[in-house]
């Protein structure tokens, strides 16, 4: 337990950040699962792919994942969509 006020404030801020990051990471994972399942199911439409790309970009912008990680995710989704016969952005 923190004895100093600034340490207590830092602990509170860290809890808020952790909760926000956890929620964002979960949102990203769910979007990726939904996009991948639509690609695997043969429903690789542009709308679903665009939604996945959007969630990836938002997570990168908010610092939940790094820029290169976002780029890798998007590249792999696009390649999977192309293999499945869908339209990649």
CATH of the domain at 58: 1.20.58.110
Residues of the chain with pLDDT under 70: 43-44, 86-89
Is position 57 within any domain? yes
Residue span of the structural domain in which 68 resides:
5-83
Element at 67 (helix H, strand E):
helix 67-83
| Per-residue model confidence (pLDDT) at position 26 | 97
| Per-residue model confidence (pLDDT) at position 87 | 55
Question: How many separate domains does the chain show?
Answer: 1
Is position 88 within any domain? no
Pairwise CA distance, residues 81 & 46, whole Å: 9
Is position 61 within any domain? yes
Pairwise CA distance, residues 74 & 42, whole Å: 18
Whole-structure pTM value: 0.82
| Per-residue model confidence (pLDDT) at position 43 | 67
Is position 89 within any domain? no
Pairwise CA distance, residues 69 & 60, whole Å: 8
Pairwise CA distance, residues 84 & 5, whole Å: 56
| Per-residue model confidence (pLDDT) at position 17 | 96
């Amino acid at each position: 337990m923190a004895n100093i006020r600034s340490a207590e404030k830092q602990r509170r801020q860290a809890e808020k950040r952790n909760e926000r990051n956890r929620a964002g990471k979960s949102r990203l994972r769910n979007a990726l699962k939904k996009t991948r399942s639509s690609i695997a199911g043969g429903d690789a439409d542009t709308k679903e792919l665009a939604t996945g790309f959007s969630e990836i970009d938002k997570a990168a912008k908010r610092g939940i994942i790094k820029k290169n990680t976002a780029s890798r995710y998007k590249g792999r989704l696009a390649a999977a969509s192309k293999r499945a016969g869908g339209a990649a952005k």
